[in-house]
Amino acid sequence: MIQKPRGTRDIVPPESKLWVAVEATAHRVFQAFGAEEIRTPVFEHTELFVRSVGETTDIVHKEMYTFADRKGRSLTLRPEGTAGVARAFLENSLDQRPLPQRLYYIGPMFRYERMQRGRYREFRQIGLEIIGAASPLADAECIVVLFEFFTALGFDNLTVHVNNLGDPEDRPRYGELLRSHLQGVRDQLCADCQRRLEENPLRVLDCKVPTCKAITATTPGMEAVASPASRAHVEEVTSLLTSLGIPWQHNPRLVRGLDYYVRTVFEVVSPELGESTVICGGGRYDRLLADLGGPEIPGVGFAIGEDRLVEVLPPAFAAKVTAEGRLYLIPLGGETAFFGLQLARDLVRQGVPVELEVSGRSLKAALKRADKLGFARVAIFGEDELARGVVLLKDLRAGSQTEVSPVQLAEIWNAEAQP
Ligand code: HAM
């Protein structure tokens, strides 16, 4: 039998219910903060990611699914969402609409990574970008939306790690600082880092090779050379977080794996997955749109790894979502099957989720199935009930039953569904 490619996943029932519920919550919370959905292609011209994510990053260097199409054009399955959103923003002249714009997306991303828990080659992100606002308020708003989303899912144990990556003008100074700091140990760094030290010094702090990690553990962070304006910006963001009661901590080692960031960067870790499996990452990217050939429009955003998020969902949310919330309709022979189909349609039209027994099970077999699948209530109707214009509504948890008219079914259901 043919199996799925390594690093991909099938999301099948009952787990798929969790995904639907998480995504519905994202649509609801993000839209409530004024965000609009944007959908961009799953593949883009390779050049887009090289220019935005950065040539010297691991993502571009080692992890992209790049291929030539039939005309020999180099295309890449998107490794992340921000570059495509920025491109689409410019290409569709969204900058002609009032700024800022809050755009969100949910969809698959692709990175050729070594497989481990929470790390896949096809994974899904839920992301938000606020484009066209330079103020620290926008960074703080991003994190507020993020935490409202997490709270709606029942999380109460998450912390956001924050760092300041300074402005692009600060980078050459950081290169000098790092090179002088690492002078004596330079040749102990991996070949990649020796190259990074010249080309893109910040990336040295992102190296996963243990000897490089050990060597750079005590090097000064980017903040040592950050401009006063960038410091004031990030300090304002964190003071807003403090005032809002959002748990945050300063993490000077946080550099993020993408090159477009300036000033604020942040990540969210869950106690369950630990610091090496980040649930969400984001930050400010004020030069990205200009680097892609557009006007100078600032941006800030984040993306959540949905696969990782679903893995650590609070049990109460998961239990609520997976509870069987439909009414099981059990026709008992003769004309009742057709009546059942009509009843199913009527009930759905009135907002009652149903499952119609279509396999002709006996009452005993149907009740056994209801029990196994966790249905709380079933409606049973034989020819006798139909003749009298009633159905038997059975509450399997309470062990009670009543005869009601089909019209009453929706009324009873909807009344009980009210909180
Ligand atoms: P990122 O940190 O590369 O940022 O990815 C965001 C999140 O995607 C990670 O925190 C993680 O949860 C998830 N993720 C990344 N790689 C994998 C993988 N191989 N398997 C499973 N989950 C993964 C970005 O992509 C930026 N575009 C975020 C952003 C938006 N910055 C500003 N706006």
User: What's the rounded Cα separation, in Å, for the pair 286 and 298?
Assistant: 4
**Within 13 Å of residue 194, how many CA atoms lie on the same side as its CB?**
8
Is 82 annotated as a binding-site member?
yes
Q: Beta 354-356 vs 377-381: how paired, if at all?
A: unpaired
Residue 260 CA to ligand 1 center (angstroms) comes to 14
> Does one domain contain both 135 and 280?
yes
Confidence band for 419, pLDDT divided at 50, 70 and 90: very low
Domain that includes residue 267, residue range: 15-167+226-318
Mutate to test the pocket of ligand 1, among 122, 278, 286, 288 (most ligand atoms within 8 A of CB): 278
pLDDT score at 418: 53
- CA distance readout (Å), 185 to 113, 182, 202, 212: 29, 5, 17, 10
Q: Give the pLDDT confidence of 49-73 residue by residue, as tens digits.
A: 999 999 989 999 999 999 999 999 9
Residue 82 CA to ligand 1 center (angstroms) comes to 10
> Does the pLDDT of residue 149 top 90, yes or no?
yes
Residue 92 CA to ligand 1 center (angstroms) comes to 25
* Lowest mean pLDDT segment, chosen from 75-84, 122-131, 202-211: 202-211
Within a domain: 56: yes
Q: Give the pLDDT confidence of 296-350 residue by residue, as tens digits.
A: 999 999 999 999 999 999 999 999 998 888 999 999 998 899 999 999 999 999 9
Average pLDDT over residues 242-254: 95
Within a domain: 261: yes
Which atom of ligand 1 lies nearest, measured to the CA of 279? 12
Ligand 1 binding pocket includes 113 (Cβ within 6 Å): yes
User: What's the rounded Cα separation, in Å, for the pair 30 and 37?
Assistant: 9
Residue nearest to atom 18 of ligand 1 (CA): 119
pLDDT score at 93: 98
Residue nearest to atom 25 of ligand 1 (CA): 80
Q: Give the pLDDT confidence of 255-284 residue by residue, as tens digits.
A: 999 999 999 999 999 888 887 789 999 999
87 φψ region: left (φ > 0), alpha (ψ -120 to 50), beta (else): alpha
pLDDT score at 218: 86
Within 10 Å of residue 384's Cβ, how many Cβ atoms? Answer: 11
Name the residue type at position 393.
L
- What is the four-CA torsion angle of 111, 78, 61, 90, rounded to 10 degrees? -150
Mutate to test the pocket of ligand 1, among 111, 117, 145, 308 (most ligand atoms within 8 A of CB): 308
> Does one domain contain both 268 and 388?
no
Mean pLDDT score of the chain: 94
Within a domain: 220: no
Query: Contact at 8 Å (CB) between 212 and 190?
Result: yes
User: What's the rounded Cα separation, in Å, for the pair 117 and 310?
Assistant: 13
Phi then psi for residue 168, to 5 deg, are -55, -30
Which atom of ligand 1 lies nearest, measured to the CA of 303? 28
Residue 81 CA to ligand 1 center (angstroms) comes to 9
> Does one domain contain both 245 and 312?
yes
Ligand 1 binding pocket includes 280 (Cβ within 6 Å): yes
Mutate to test the pocket of ligand 1, among 109, 146, 310 (most ligand atoms within 8 A of CB): 109
> Does one domain contain both 254 and 348?
no
> Does one domain contain both 93 and 79?
yes
Within a domain: 151: yes
Residue 278 CA to ligand 1 center (angstroms) comes to 8
> Does one domain contain both 42 and 163?
yes
Residues near 126 by beta carbon (within 8 Å), at least 6 away in sequence: 22, 23, 26, 104, 105, 106, 303, 304, 306, 309
Token pair belonging to 111: 């990175």
Of 318, 349, 374, which residue sits at a domain end? Answer: 318
Average pLDDT over residues 125-148: 98
> Does one domain contain both 254 and 343?
no
- What's the CATH code of the domain at 368? 3.40.50.800
Query: Contact at 8 Å (CB) between 401 and 390?
Result: no
Residue 301 CA to ligand 1 center (angstroms) comes to 11
What is the greatest pairwise CA distance in the chain?
94
**Total number of domains constituting the chain:** 2
Residue nearest to atom 15 of ligand 1 (CA): 305
Residue nearest to atom 11 of ligand 1 (CA): 305
Is 113 annotated as a binding-site member?
no
Residue 281 CA to ligand 1 center (angstroms) comes to 6
Residue 109 CA to ligand 1 center (angstroms) comes to 9
Within a domain: 207: no
- What's the CATH code of the domain at 138? 3.30.930.10
Within a domain: 271: yes
Name the residue among 224, 319, 222 with its Cα closest to residue 261.
Answer: 222
Ligand 1 binding pocket includes 298 (Cβ within 6 Å): no
pLDDT score at 206: 84
> Does one domain contain both 118 and 19?
yes
Residue 319 burial (C-beta neighbours within 10 Å; 0-12, 13-18, 19+): exposed
Within a domain: 112: yes
> Does one domain contain both 301 and 334?
no
pLDDT score at 199: 86
Is 377 annotated as a binding-site member?
no
> Does the pLDDT of residue 126 top 90, yes or no?
yes
Ligand 1 binding pocket includes 111 (Cβ within 6 Å): yes
Within a domain: 198: no
> Does one domain contain both 313 and 292?
yes
Residue nearest to atom 2 of ligand 1 (CA): 281
> Does one domain contain both 296 and 339?
no
Ligand 1 binding pocket includes 282 (Cβ within 6 Å): yes
3-state secondary structure the chain: CCCCCCCCCCCCCCHHHHHHHHHHHHHHHHHHCCCEECCCCCEEEHHHHHHHCCCCCHHHHHCCEEEECCCCCEEEECCCCHHHHHHHHHHCCHHHCCCCEEEEEEEEEECCCCCECCECCEEEEEEEEEECCCCHHHHHHHHHHHHHHHHHCCCCCCEEEEEECCCHHHHHHHHHHHHHHCHHHHHHCCHHHHHHHHHCHHHHHHCCCHHHHHHHCCCCCHHHHCCHHHHHHHHHHHHHHHHHCCCEEECCCCCCCCCCCEEEEEEEECCCCCCCCCCEEEEECCCHHHHCCCCCCCEEEEEEEHHHHHHCCCHHHHHHHHCCCCEEEEECCCCHHHHHHHHHHHHHHCCCCEEECCCCCCHHHHHHHHHHHCCCEEEEECHHHHHHCCEEEEECCCCEEEEECHHHHHHHHHHHHCC
User: What's the rounded Cα separation, in Å, for the pair 125 and 225?
Assistant: 33
Residue 306 CA to ligand 1 center (angstroms) comes to 9
> Does one domain contain both 84 and 230?
yes
User: What's the rounded Cα separation, in Å, for the pair 145 and 280?
Assistant: 13
Ligand 1 binding pocket includes 173 (Cβ within 6 Å): no
Q: Give the pLDDT confidence of 362-410 residue by residue, as tens digits.
A: 999 999 999 999 999 999 999 999 999 999 999 999 999 999 999 999 9
pLDDT score at 134: 98
